[in-house]
Chain A
Amino acid sequence: MNRHLLSGADLSHADALLVLDTAEELAQLADRPIKKLPTLRGRTVVNLFFEDSTRTRISFEAAAKRLSADVINFSAKGSSVSKGESLKDTALTLEAMGADAVVVRHHASGAPHRLAHSGWIRGSVVNAGDGTHEHPTQALLDAFTMRRRLNGDRPLGTDLTGRRVTIVGDVLHSRVARSNVLLLHTLGAEVTLVAPPTLLPVGIDAWPCTTSYDLDGELAKSDVVMMLRVQRERMTTEGGGFFPSAREYSRRYGLDRRRVAVLPDHAIVMHPGPMNRGMEIAAEVADSARSTIVEQVTNGVSVRMAVLYLLLSGSTEITEVTA
């Protein structure tokens, strides 16, 4: 494993399986009387959130605390950051506090990359979502969830070879889509991105996936359908005018009962949250047995524990892991 986790592309096939298998073992902790391990005792994990995301922050916080790390939550809201303190000065402060890992959520694409490579801090950097770039732990928890649902109760050592994953929605602005395409490709899955042409980035032909404008054409062959959040503001002129109306979006790209009926029996429905019920996903679909939305949240903690354990334990000199 690299010292940092910034992108879905940072993980080799072996690294990704190591994280998923480790998370699988750590998931057992939930059934134990004491849901805590002493592994990261005396180490400090800083949650550095320049953007509101309670879900992701508490997931990382729970993960770090279950490994006995000291957790410092640093939210940009109401702090010196909102008073104009730079990313650099914030980083220097964290360094002075002895952060072993910095979990960073930032509105600017590449901010975690800057944090990791500018020499401002020595600790490991975990990207918890940067701008419209990446969100690698979300991709890991998605892959973990797919593996559990599709590969059986003991999916250890298995990848997603041959699985067909259809990701639907605002790919252009989605960090979840980028990380998932990269990681799922590494794990052998075949990914198809489905969106109106306005919401697919220029240059997507070079991504390791296929694209389609037609959701209905993809459903029957999908093992997984992942719906991305689509912000209603995107249809306004100020928001870019990417599609004409919520109604039209929902009709062409929303997952409703009619479309779910076309899916194979074993297929699952995922959503990284937060959902726009009635927009990209119908309420009855979100709450159905196919939906993994609640599991994804639970799995997020196990996966983030695995990431923190693998990044923080181990010597700094010896980073090579054979698996």
Chain B
Amino acid sequence: MTPTPDLTARATGPVPVGSVPGHRAGSSSRAGQPGGPATVGRPVLEAPDIGRALTRIAHEILERNKGAGDLCLLGIPSRGVPLAYRLGALIAQVEGSTVPVGALDVTMYRDDLRLRPARALEHTELPPEGVDGRTVVLVDDVLFSGRTIRAALDALGDLGRPRSVQLAVLVDRGHRELPIRADYVGKNLPTSMTERVHVLLEERDGRDAVTVEKTTAATPAAAARTGADDE
């Protein structure tokens, strides 16, 4: 049987070339999400900066864990997933062997489900090796209140029992609301609550960049409701 995809159904953008496995292009549907290469706000990281940051994080992960032996990288949709695959590729370059990479959707574990419109679920895909007994590195684009990571830890706990869990983020913008910190940070980016951080990635958005936009939203929750960062 050949599937008959309805091309009009979820046409939120063209399918990027080289889209990562297990990741649905254009599947996210939140209003206000940067869906194209247009720059919103002040650029803080350009493509080469992002590349260097990820390379450094890949090395730090290997250094901290003394190799890639039990590693498993889990990206948090949507933009954590391509980042996880990039880190996996970088680690493989250094180590010469592949690292299991997957995606972990945390939607059903969020603590703000009642406050926001129901959202489509993203795909969760664990590598065949599973997570039991492994060192899982959660990968996300922006660390903000910490609530997404809290949800990710709960989701992970229902999937298995990792030996340890670490966190890698491209940008840490501060304003934590929970006792959570990242093990690997691409860039610490001091922001005010009224600012919004946009992460653009080649795989989804056609180019790499991080920008900061001024808004009127004053809290992470309010920012989230208006469709801000991938927090």
Q: Answer whether A266 and B1 are a contact pair too, CB < 8 Å, given A18-B120, A39-B113.
A: yes
**Contact present for A315 and B116 (CB under 8 Å):** yes
Number of interface residues of A (CB under 8 A): 44
Per-residue CB contact flags for chain B residues 6-36 toward chain A (1 = under 8 Å, else 0) read 1001100000000000001001010100000
A interface secondary structure, majority:
loop
Roughly how many angstroms separate A161 CA and B4 CA in the complex, as a whole number?
8
Roughly how many angstroms separate A22 CA and B172 CA in the complex, as a whole number?
30
**Contact present for A318 and B117 (CB under 8 Å):** yes
Q: A201 in the interface, Cβ–Cβ < 8 Å? A: no
- Residue ranges of B at the interface with A (Cβ–Cβ < 8 Å): 1-6, 9-10, 24, 27, 29, 31, 105, 108-109, 113-124, 154, 158-160
**Contact present for A309 and B158 (CB under 8 Å):** no
Q: Answer whether A321 and B117 are a contact pair too, CB < 8 Å, given A32-B158, A152-B3.
A: yes
Residues of A within 8 A of B120 (CB): 18, 21-22, 323
Residues of A within 8 A of B160 (CB): 33
Residues of B within 8 A of A13 (CB): 9
Report 25 cross-chain contacts, Cβ distance below 8 Å, ordered by A residue.
Answer: A17-B9, A32-B159, A33-B160, A36-B158, A38-B108, A38-B154, A39-B108, A149-B1, A151-B3, A152-B2, A156-B24, A157-B6, A157-B10, A157-B24, A159-B6, A309-B118, A311-B118, A314-B113, A314-B116, A314-B117, A315-B116, A318-B116, A321-B29, A321-B117, A323-B120
Residues of B within 8 A of A248 (CB): none
Roughly how many angstroms separate A44 CA and B1 CA in the complex, as a whole number?
41
- Residue ranges of A at the interface with B (Cβ–Cβ < 8 Å): 1, 13-14, 17-18, 21-22, 25-26, 28, 32-34, 36-39, 67, 149-152, 154-159, 161-162, 188, 266, 309-311, 313-315, 318-323
Q: Quick one: which of B29, B31, B108 contacts A37, CB cutoff 8 A?
A: B108
**Contact present for A323 and B108 (CB under 8 Å):** no
- For A265, the closest partner residue in chain B by CB is B1
Roughly how many angstroms separate A158 CA and B109 CA in the complex, as a whole number?
26
Q: Quick one: which of A25, A311, A318 contacts B121, CB cutoff 8 A?
A: A25
Supply 16 further A-B pairs (C-beta < 8 A) apart from A154-B3, A314-B116, A318-B117.
A14-B9, A36-B158, A38-B109, A38-B154, A151-B3, A151-B4, A157-B5, A157-B6, A157-B24, A157-B27, A161-B4, A162-B4, A266-B1, A314-B114, A314-B118, A315-B114
